[in-house]
Copies of this chain bind each other. A is one copy, B any other.
Amino acid sequence: MQLTGNLLIGQQSVYGANGSIKAVNASTGAAIEPAFGGATLDDLDRACALAWSAFDVYRETAPEARAKFLEAIAQNILDIGDDLIERCMIESGLPRPRLEGERGRTVGQLRMFAEVVRNGDYLGVRIDPPQPERKPLPRVDLRLRYIGLGPVAVFGASNFPLAFSVAGGDTASALAAGCPVIVKAHSAHPGTAELVGRAVQKAVKDCGLPEGTFSLLFDSGRDIGQGLVKDNRIKAAGFTGSRGGGTALMKLAAARTEPIPVYAEMSSINPVVLFPNALKNRGEAIGKAFVQSLVLGAGQFCTNPGLVLAVDGPDLDAFIAAASAALKETSAQTMLTPGIHKTYESSIDKAASHADVTIAARGLEAKSGHQGQSALFVTTADAFRKNHELQEEIFGASSLVVRCPDLASMRELIESLEGQLTSALHIDEADYADARSFLPALERRTGRILVNGFGTGVEVGHAMVHGGPYPSTADGRSTSVGSLAIDRFLRPVSYQDLPEALLPDALKIDNPLGLNRRIDGKLQLAN
């Protein structure tokens, strides 16, 4: 499939006149064709105008129509075939099996949201029937449903060029919620973005939806991304990336005449907490599994295990030895972009030269210029507490083991951590009582707590929380993975005493959509 380098503004495909960007071969650093034209502020304005005018129509699409649209996007992505995988491999440096898996995940997410739309529980229908005879005042007829917030700006992530990008989780959940989407393509994978963007654009057309339901913009600088968040027709933003990028968007959004929610997933070091019995009985095995998780995708996961906490002693020595032995055998892997690789290298140098940090092991050396060499560092609880910079995420296959004097200081140390996406506990049955005493501190600062595993597998399901207190995300009241992600783009509206003829189908008393509803506060299933 031929790449055009064009912006997709509604059903138009036009070459942007505001500078251009080229993708870079992640392995070689060489620029690759074609050049993608950067959007002008006029292009941005047109995309926003189209999205705004699409909103009222798109948000009232029937459930089946909206579900079919999401499924059509999924099918169109599959129909691109191997061209998508190949272009994405070059742009991201990620290997084929990973990207084939990620495509499956992306398609799966879209299909899951189709089912969420058909199911309709996200509408949160509540009906308080009238009580005309109530004294001293009759009770009115009240009905509530959730509607979409409005057009949503989505910023694709570099580390999931499919699953968290143009048609990734943010886009899928916003579209499911009834919100048009404008994507600011990540400059690290513009070709992948165009291919997927055209898949969405085609689905919009084939499903007969308003063209403004979807647009894709390339940005040769920062004006378009910032302009999107500032535009008063945009009512929410989804972002996955660095803390700097995320907090910049948060500030722009808060400074608007009408502030809007920003769902930025930013940074997390995902503490792994090793408890004494597990450490003693399975330290070696945990060490090996830990390294497997650490180096997955060159460590470029938001849920990468960047911090290990355990009580100091021979059992921890054995864990470190096993992890170090495993890590030494790990190959250096091509990182997503030369820039990410450079930042990784300098972060590693900084950690390695830290007075209170020692190097336990490094992985195999890089064979080319943009491969990240994995690293394992060790420090003490005291040093960790005193040096806040040791809490900073190193994006890549690097982790820091903290030797704690005892369990009490380990728990204290957890209380000093910032908000996290995940926390992992490694426990045997004899550790349960200790682990229980850690749970409150972990719950207060973590979106997902897991036992005897690592956070790097993020299941796309209904009970997943991929989110967490600030600064792991901008808004800890939400998740960006799983069916609950749709809630981010909804708000409740209440209808009082509306005649049936004027009520939306979701709220009609005879329940034409077959929805589960809360009647007078009690959940009632449709069947």
Q: Is A451 an interface residue (CB 8 A)?
A: yes
Q: Is A355 an interface residue (CB 8 A)?
A: no
Q: Does A144 contact B (CB under 8 A)?
A: yes
Q: Which residues of B contact A259 (CB under 8 A)?
A: 250, 470, 474
Give A399-443 interface residues, CB cut-off 8 Å to B: 418-419, 429, 432, 435-436, 439-440, 443
From residue 240 to 286 of chain A, which have CB atoms closer than 8 A to chain B? 250-251, 254, 258-259, 261
Please tell me which stretch of A187-195, A204-212, A309-317, A476-484 contacts chain B, meaning at least 4 of its Cβ atoms lie within 8 angstroms of it. A476-484
Known: A140-B453, A483-B521, A523-B121. A128 touches B463 (CB 8 A): yes
Q: Which of chain B's residues has its CB closest to A432's CB?
A: B501
Residue of B with least CB distance to A477: B491
Q: Given contacts A56-B440, A140-B457, A254-B250, is CB(A447)–CB(B492) below 8 Å?
A: yes
Q: Is A168 an interface residue (CB 8 A)?
A: no
Which residues 457-484 in A have Cβ within 8 Å of B in the complex? 457, 459, 461-465, 467, 469-471, 474-479, 483-484
Task: Find out whether the CB atom of B142 lies under 8 angstroms from the CB atom of A449.
Answer: no
Specify which chain B residues have a CB less than 8 angstroms from the CB of A119 in the assembled complex.
521-522
Q: Which residues of B contact A440 (CB under 8 A)?
A: 56, 60
- B462/A494 in contact, CB under 8 A: no
Q: How many identical subunits does the complex contain?
A: 2
Contact A467 B450 (CB under 8 A): no
Are B516 and A523 in contact, CB atoms less than 8 angstroms apart?
yes
Q: Is A383 an interface residue (CB 8 A)?
A: no
Q: In the assembled complex, how far is the CB of residue A508 from the closest CB belonging to chain B, in whole angstroms? A: 14
In the complex, the chain B residue whose C-beta lies closest to that of A52 is B444
Interface presence of A502 (CB below 8 A): yes
Residues of chain B lying within 8 A (CB to CB) of residue A447: 492-494
User: Can you give 5 A-B contacts (C-beta < 8 A)?
Assistant: A116-B521, A140-B453, A254-B254, A449-B494, A483-B521
